[in-house]
Amino acid sequence: MNKAIIAASAICLLIALGIGNLALGNTAVKGDEPAMMVSPQTIVLDKVTTVTVHTNIPAGSVVTGSVALDAAAPISVWADDCGHLAARFAVADLDLTPGEAVLTLTGTFVGEEAKTFSAEDTVSVKADTGPR
């Protein structure tokens, strides 16, 4: 009896997590206009080496080699679980200083028109906070 309850509970939990992921997936970048979210939102310069950008832009509609964050080339570009463009960038390539920074992702859509896109997100940049 206990094994059946545990198994049923585990199945219910997995179903709930799956439905929650579908309902809430990539909620930070909803809408029809290109949008992005940078992670982490607070960058400690001596501790964070990379940032990841998540977008609402279908990955298949973008020329992968055209993607840049503040003119920095990505380390990697991929489609997230929702099929949206995601990319990772080296913090050292972004020329950040402590304070608030507006980061701009740019790129080109696939097609003969060579239509470009841009999206922005604001992050907090901090110097090292002390001993590790």
Rounded CA separation 2/35 (Å):
48
Task: Provide the whole-model pTM.
Answer: 0.73
Per CATH, the number for 26-126 is 2.60.40
pLDDT band at 19 (very low <50, low <70, confident <90, very high): very low
pLDDT at res. 18:
47
* pLDDT tens per residue across span 58-78: 999 999 999 999 999 999 999
Average pLDDT over residues 43-67: 95
Average pLDDT over residues 90-96: 96
